[in-house]
Amino acid sequence: MRARNSSTEQDAGPPRRTFTESARRAQIVDAAIAVIADLGYAKTSFAKIAKQAGLSSTGMISYHFAGKDDLMRAVVAEVMRVADEHLRPRIEAQPNASARLRTYIESNIALLIDFPKHLAALVEVLANLRDEGPDQFGYAASMDSIMSFQAERMRDAQRTGEFREFDVTVMVHAIRGAIDEVVGRARTDPDLDLVANGRELADLFDRATRNTT
Amino acid sequence: MRARNSSTEQDAGPPRRTFTESARRAQIVDAAIAVIADLGYAKTSFAKIAKQAGLSSTGMISYHFAGKDDLMRAVVAEVMRVADEHLRPRIEAQPNASARLRTYIESNIALLIDFPKHLAALVEVLANLRDEGPDQFGYAASMDSIMSFQAERMRDAQRTGEFREFDVTVMVHAIRGAIDEVVGRARTDPDLDLVANGRELADLFDRATRNTT
Amino acid sequence: MRARNSSTEQDAGPPRRTFTESARRAQIVDAAIAVIADLGYAKTSFAKIAKQAGLSSTGMISYHFAGKDDLMRAVVAEVMRVADEHLRPRIEAQPNASARLRTYIESNIALLIDFPKHLAALVEVLANLRDEGPDQFGYAASMDSIMSFQAERMRDAQRTGEFREFDVTVMVHAIRGAIDEVVGRARTDPDLDLVANGRELADLFDRATRNTT
Amino acid sequence: MRARNSSTEQDAGPPRRTFTESARRAQIVDAAIAVIADLGYAKTSFAKIAKQAGLSSTGMISYHFAGKDDLMRAVVAEVMRVADEHLRPRIEAQPNASARLRTYIESNIALLIDFPKHLAALVEVLANLRDEGPDQFGYAASMDSIMSFQAERMRDAQRTGEFREFDVTVMVHAIRGAIDEVVGRARTDPDLDLVANGRELADLFDRATRNTT
DNA sequence: GATGAATGAGAATTCATTCAT
DNA sequence: TATGAATGAATTCTCATTCAT
């Protein structure tokens, strides 16, 4: 039998899942995050994930997820959930766009410290999982919507004069790229001073966005 | 027979290669770049590369390269060679650090237009090929040395007062990350206005580095 | 998934195997014995074993065994088991060392008649499977322990005066070598009179060990 | 083009070989002996032999030998040549059958000391290269003829009463098996006291053959 | 005579997935 | 729900051999 419900529900309503099923799914997703962060996307397999999760067979994974892509979407969703939970309150507590920008960058780096594998796994998956066909229901989509939202916020700040004029899309993606680069580097270099990197990065983009007129 | 010589020669001198061998190697490397850029590192296989190169068997690749890693190192080296050839003269023609920085960014984007697959392949390989063991002769190593060089140049500009004080390492990596993000996005979105992106990115980092005192 | 458990368990307790798994493993081991005996170690491959076992793919073998070495260890263990079962009661029924020696030799030859492929496979594997690294759990190790045991028994017989003085290690290995030679010859020459060979060999080593003072 | 002449000439007369050709063949055979002794027959390949011989391609080997079997026959022939050269004068210098037997055994062991790889390679090849088809022109054939010769000599000694009555074929093969076992063990255990082993083995078979009436 | 390049088959192993129980 | 067993394609790599130069 095929997995009863995929991770991205394009059909009606959220899937009903029993407690055990949800627990199993979460267990598998966590294992997947760990394996992807440790070995990289290319060397990740159901077998390694099952081993990491303490499962006896890969059949279990296929049972709970519609396929590799489905599992990866679930990984993305989980990391997004954790990231949102971690970032949103911090960011929304800030008084202005400039502070929010700084908080966004520094909180991303803080997330990297608190959940070292989550962002690494996210970057790996998004880099490797190009949306093929029209079934792009969760990969980059959720990431894209976040970035669109940030871009809109930036545009607001430009209107109020807090930020200078610049292409917000380029800016948002540049910030994302710079953060992801730190994520990748943190993997290689465990001695990297993340806090300092976050602060410097925040300074950098503060300068780049601030209105100096 | 095994591949006679690997791509990274730590021993004495460059390997002697006949004309035919060099041609075949180049042919395979080119095919690898195309396949990696199109399908991503994870879905790249010798079979696909052989097909792309018009080779009859994957054995041919094993014959010319010591293994998958060796081929990937050759890919990195080739892209670096093309990039260097493309970037260096443009950059060195600039009168000051600020202009060099702008040229570096815009020329990278121009490279993305002229050789659409090269940078994509490079980013894919560097992201997926974690250096295992001490045999990291060429992967990230050559990239690192380039970035160290750029950092040193930036420090010079700080001493002359052309650039403000900032952590040059962070800056260099942020620039790299921002460019790589564009590379990744260009893969997905063929309508992306690369020239505009390059100009905006150059503006961004000009603001971030400039001394405004 | 990888094979769940290797054939030599150095860790705690025997591996739990389901009935089906044990049956498949036995089936594969039997097929391996047949192929090795027929074609020799060098020409034995998973493909040939799978065919002999009526399996659809070589993947099945990799599924049940951790690798070629693991399968070979299982082959050695199985032959040892059969041999022990066959030899031990006969030998232990004998009243003295001299009779035990004769029985050991003749029963080995009898084993060659009853299970023509088992000893042939054993000799092939032990000759070709050089223990690489410290993981020699079962190859020559179990064989060595058997021979040490025999040597100790011989030493006892020397103390009682039943056997003359000689280097028991050399004797034990000479006997083994002589038997293995018959095993090898039996493969080539189906007309070989094994019973006569066994009797003559027993006479030979009886003379060589007997105390004639 | 196929190799001009195979190692076993069933056709008329010895092949004409130029000096260089003979030198190359000898070089390859020597390399083959070393590789077989070191890695075992199963892991020996043209590639490894070419590397050992300092040759740039395996084509060279195929050029000089009609195939793998042909090379192996040449290996056997070479080892036999060296062995004969080493053993014959020593054995023929002995006054009687008993002394010749002892010398045969001890000289074999001495050969193992002087040319550690030769006998090891021989045993490997003979154990793995079962004569398939009617083309058994050199493998076991030459070995067989030697053993037949030895058997005949033993029969003579039985007629003169120097040796007791026994099955000479069995005896000859038992001796061979015992020696080969030492050869195999010497590979594993470099500390093995070969001289002592040879002496003990000679004693053993002296007892087994001597007429004690 | 000799070489390097190529071939195509075959090696062991891992893969995601399916299915009967 | 869950599991272990099986599948068959695909992976990288090595093999002995051939052939044009």
- The 10s digit of each residue's pLDDT in B167-194 is 999 999 999 999 999 999 998 889 999 9
Name the percent of chain B lying above pLDDT 90.
75
Q: Do chains B and A touch (3 or more CB pairs under 8 A)?
A: yes
Specify which residue's alpha carbon is closest to the C1' of nucleotide E20.
A1
The spacing between the Cα labelled CA in B38 and the C1' in F17, in angstroms, equals 36
Query: Distance from B131 to chain A by nearest Cα, in Å?
Result: 9
Cβ separation of C2 and A47 shorter than 8 Å? yes
| 3-class secondary structure, B74 | helix
Mutation for testing the C interface, residue in D38, D148, D170, D206 having most C CBs under 10 Å: D170
The CA R_g of chain D, rounded to the nearest whole Å, is 19
Chains in contact with A, counting 3 or more C-beta pairs less than 8 Å apart as contact: B, C
Cβ separation of C204 and D130 shorter than 8 Å? no
The spacing between the Cα labelled CA in B5 and the C1' in E21, in angstroms, equals 54
Contact C8, C69 (CB under 8 A): no
pLDDT interval class at A14 (50, 70, 90): low
Q: Which nucleotide is nearest to C60 (CA to C1')?
A: F6
Out of C131, C178, C185, whose CB is closest to D178? Answer: C178
Cβ separation of B128 and A201 shorter than 8 Å? no
pLDDT interval class at B14 (50, 70, 90): low
The spacing between the Cα labelled CA in B27 and the C1' in E7, in angstroms, equals 18
Q: pLDDT at position A90, please?
A: 94
Cβ separation of A200 and B40 shorter than 8 Å? no
Angstrom distance (rounded) from CA D46 to CA D72: 11
A130-177 pLDDT, tens digit per residue, is 765 444 555 667 778 888 888 999 999 999 999 999 999 999 999 999
Q: pLDDT at position D138, please?
A: 56
Angstrom distance (rounded) from CA D145 to CA D148: 5
pLDDT at B75 over 90: yes
B78-123 pLDDT, tens digit per residue, is 999 999 999 999 999 999 999 999 999 999 999 999 999 999 999 9
The spacing between the Cα labelled CA in A48 and the C1' in E15, in angstroms, equals 11
Q: Do chains A and D touch (3 or more CB pairs under 8 A)?
A: no
Q: pLDDT at position A10, please?
A: 47
Specify which residue's alpha carbon is closest to the C1' of nucleotide F19.
D1
Residue A139: phi and psi, rounded to 5, are: -55, -100
Q: pLDDT at position C131, please?
A: 63
pLDDT interval class at B2 (50, 70, 90): very low
Cβ separation of D40 and C201 shorter than 8 Å? no
Terminal Cα-to-Cα distance of chain D (whole angstroms): 65
| 3-class secondary structure, D210 | strand
pLDDT at D1 over 50: no
pLDDT interval class at A96 (50, 70, 90): very high
Q: pLDDT at position C134, please?
A: 46
Q: Which nucleotide is nearest to C46 (CA to C1')?
A: E12
pLDDT interval class at B157 (50, 70, 90): very high
| 3-class secondary structure, B1 | coil
pLDDT interval class at D186 (50, 70, 90): very high
Q: pLDDT at position C179, please?
A: 97
Cβ separation of A178 and B174 shorter than 8 Å? yes
Which bases of chain E are contacted by protein, using any atom under 7 A from a CB? 1-20
- Of A36-50, B4-18, C73-87, which range is least confident? B4-18
Residue segments in chain C with a per-residue pLDDT below the cut of 70:
1-16, 131-140
Chain D residues within an 8 Å CB radius of B20: none
Q: Nearest residue on chain C to A58, judged by CA atoms?
A: C1
pLDDT at B12 over 60: no
CA C209 to chain centre: 24
Cβ separation of D174 and C204 shorter than 8 Å? yes
Q: pLDDT at position C98, please?
A: 95
Count how many residues are written for chain C. Answer: 213
SS3 assignment for chain C: CCCCCCCCCCCCCCCCCCHHHHHHHHHHHHHHHHHHHHHCCCCCCHHHHHHHHCCCCCHHHHHHCCCHHHHHHHHHHHHHHHHHHHHHHHHHCCCCHHHHHHHHHHHHHHHHHHCHHHHHHHHHHHHHCCCCCCCCCCCHHHHHHHHHHHHHHHHHHHHHCCECCCCHHHHHHHHHHHHHHHHHHHHHCCCCCHHHHHHHHHHHHHHHHECCC
Q: pLDDT at position A22, please?
A: 81
Q: Nearest residue on chain B to A168, judged by CA atoms?
A: B200
Cβ atoms within 10 Å, residue B160 = 10
Chain C residues within an 8 Å CB radius of A56: 4
Chain B residues within an 8 Å CB radius of A205: 208
Chain C residues within an 8 Å CB radius of D207: 207-208
Cβ separation of A56 and C2 shorter than 8 Å? no
Q: What is the DSSP string of B140-200?
A: HHHHHHHHHHHHHHHHHHHHHTSB-S--HHHHHHHHHHHHHHHHHHHHH-TT--HHHHHHH
Angstrom distance (rounded) from CA D139 to CA D136: 6
Chain A positions contacting chain C at CB under 8 Å are 47, 50-51, 56-58
Q: pLDDT at position D200, please?
A: 97
Q: Would residue C166 be called left, alpha or beta, if left means φ above 0 and alpha means ψ between -120 and 50 degrees?
A: beta
For residue A196, what is the enclosing H or E element? Answer: helix A194-209
Q: Which nucleotide is nearest to C64 (CA to C1')?
A: F5
Q: pLDDT at position C154, please?
A: 95
pLDDT at B145 over 90: no
| 3-class secondary structure, A163 | strand
Tokens, residue C114? 């009853």
The spacing between the Cα labelled CA in B47 and the C1' in F10, in angstroms, equals 9
Q: pLDDT at position B8, please?
A: 52
* Span A46-67, average pLDDT: 93
Query: Distance from D5 to chain B by nearest Cα, in Å?
Result: 24
| 3-class secondary structure, D8 | coil
Mutation for testing the A interface, residue in C1, C2, C5, C16 having most A CBs under 10 Å: C1
Tokens, residue B171? 């800056």
Closest C-alpha among C99, C79, C189, C95 to residue C139: C79
Closest C-alpha among C188, C110, C175, C186 to residue C143: C175
Cβ separation of D188 and C124 shorter than 8 Å? no
pLDDT at A12 over 80: no
Chains in contact with D, counting 3 or more C-beta pairs less than 8 Å apart as contact: B, C
Chain A residues within an 8 Å CB radius of C4: 56
Cβ separation of C200 and D170 shorter than 8 Å? yes
Chain D residues within an 8 Å CB radius of C176: 181
Between residues C195 and D149, the one the model is more confident about: C195
The spacing between the Cα labelled CA in B141 and the C1' in F10, in angstroms, equals 32
Chain B residues within an 8 Å CB radius of A184: 127
Closest C-alpha among A87, A82, A81 to residue A198: A87
Specify which residue's alpha carbon is closest to the C1' of nucleotide E6.
B60
Chain D residues within an 8 Å CB radius of B2: 47
Cβ separation of C208 and D212 shorter than 8 Å? no
The spacing between the Cα labelled CA in A1 and the C1' in F8, in angstroms, equals 19
Angstrom distance (rounded) from CA A184 to CA B123: 12
Query: Distance from C15 to chain D by nearest Cα, in Å?
Result: 31
D59-106 pLDDT, tens digit per residue, is 999 999 999 999 999 999 999 999 999 999 999 999 999 999 999 999
The spacing between the Cα labelled CA in D50 and the C1' in E5, in angstroms, equals 16
The spacing between the Cα labelled CA in D42 and the C1' in F20, in angstroms, equals 32
Going from the C-alpha of A156 to that of each of A50, A149, A160, B201, C111, the distances in angstroms are 47, 11, 6, 21, 90
Domains identified in chain B and CATH numbers: 72-209 (1.10.357.10)
Mutation for testing the C interface, residue in D165, D204, D205, D212 having most C CBs under 10 Å: D204
Chain A residues within an 8 Å CB radius of B201: 170, 174
Contact C57, C50 (CB under 8 A): yes
Task: State the average pLDDT for chain B.
Answer: 88
Out of A127, A207, A212, whose CB is closest to B208? Answer: A207
Please count the residue pairs, one from chain A and one from chain B, whose beta carbons lie less than 8 angstroms apart: 99
The spacing between the Cα labelled CA in B162 and the C1' in F10, in angstroms, equals 56
CA C195 to chain centre: 19
Q: pLDDT at position D23, please?
A: 85
Closest C-alpha among C31, C121, C142 to residue C79: C121
Please count the residue pairs, one from chain C and one from chain D, whose beta carbons lie less than 8 angstroms apart: 99
